[in-house]
Structure 1
Amino acid sequence: MNSETFLLSLPEKVDPNVLEGLETNFHFILKQPDGQDPNEITVQVHDGQVTAEKGLKGEPKCVVKTSDENLMKLLKGDLNPMMAILTGKLKISNQSEMLKYAKIFGLM
C-alpha cells in the first residue's frame, strides 16, 4: 500500500461516531521519488462523513506536505513525527488541526 491508497481509503476506516460535530478540510501534497508531479489529495470531514478524493478541493484548514515515502514511514512508525517536522521532511500548515485529527485518521 502507498500513502495515496491509504488516504483514499480513509472513509472506509474512520468510525463516523467520532466525527459527530467535526468539520475540516485537509490537503495532502505528496512528492514522488522520480520527480513526477506530486499526488494531491483532499480529505474532508463534513456532517459525520469522511471523503477523500484526488486533487485539491475547497479551502484547507491544514496543508500537509511530505514525500510519499516519508508519509508511509510515519504511518508504519518508522519515522518520528516531531523529528520529521524538525528536519523538514514533514510540513504541516496548522499543527493543532493535525493533532486534533491524527488519531481519528490513523496517522498516529
Structure 2
Amino acid sequence: MTAEEFIQSLPARVDKGTIAGMNTNFYFDILGDNPTQYSVLIEEGEIRTAPGKVGDPTCTVTAKEKDLVAVVTGKMAPAMALMMGKVKVSNLNEMMKFAKIFGMM
C-alpha cells in the first residue's frame, strides 16, 4: 500500500453516520523519495480527498511515506510513531477523531 492508496481509500471506509454534521480538514504532508501532499476534507457528512493543500487544515500530519504506511497497515503502533517523531501531528485531538472515524482505534 502507498500513502496515495491509503488516502484514496478513505471515502469508502467511512460510515457516513459517524461524520454527520462534522467539518474538519486533514492535510497530509508526505516526505521522502516521492514527496506529495493530500487533503482529506469532511464537510457536513460528506468526505472527499484532494491532491495538495486545500483550505486551512484543522490537523496537519507530516511523515515519510514508509512510516505513514507502517502506521496505517498496523506494522507500527501510532503512539510509538508519534513518540519517535516518525509521524508529526499538529492537532492530536483531531487526529484521534480521524482514527476513530476510520476504525484505526
TM-score by length of 2: 0.92
Q: Deviations over 1:63-93 (max 9, x none)?
A: 0001111111101211111111111101000
Determine if contact 1:9/1:52 at 8 Å carries over to the other structure: no
**CA-based RMSD:** 1.3
Consecutive unaligned residues of structure 2, counting only runs of 5 or more, are none
Q: Deviations over 1:36-77 (max 9, x none)?
A: 4x2100001001011101110000000000111111110121
Distance 1:11 1:22, change over 3 A: same
Amino acid at match of 1:30: I
Consecutive unaligned residues of structure 1, counting only runs of 5 or more, are none
CA distance in 1, matches of 2:104, 2:70: 11
Q: Deviations over 1:2-53 (max 9, x none)?
A: 1111102211221111111111001001112x3x4x2100001001011101
2:39 is aligned, of 42, 47, 63, to: 42
Determine if contact 1:74/1:107 at 8 Å carries over to the other structure: no
Distance 1:9 1:41, change over 3 A: same
Q: Could you tell me how far 1:106 is from its partner in structure 2?
A: 3.8
Q: Could you tell me how far 1:103 is from its partner in structure 2?
A: 2.1
TM-score by length of 1: 0.89
Q: Superposition pairs for residues 11-50 of structure 1, below 5 Å? A: 11-32=11-32, 34=33, 36=34, 38-50=35-47
Q: Which runs of 4+ in 1 moved over 4 A?
A: none
Aligned residue pairs total 105
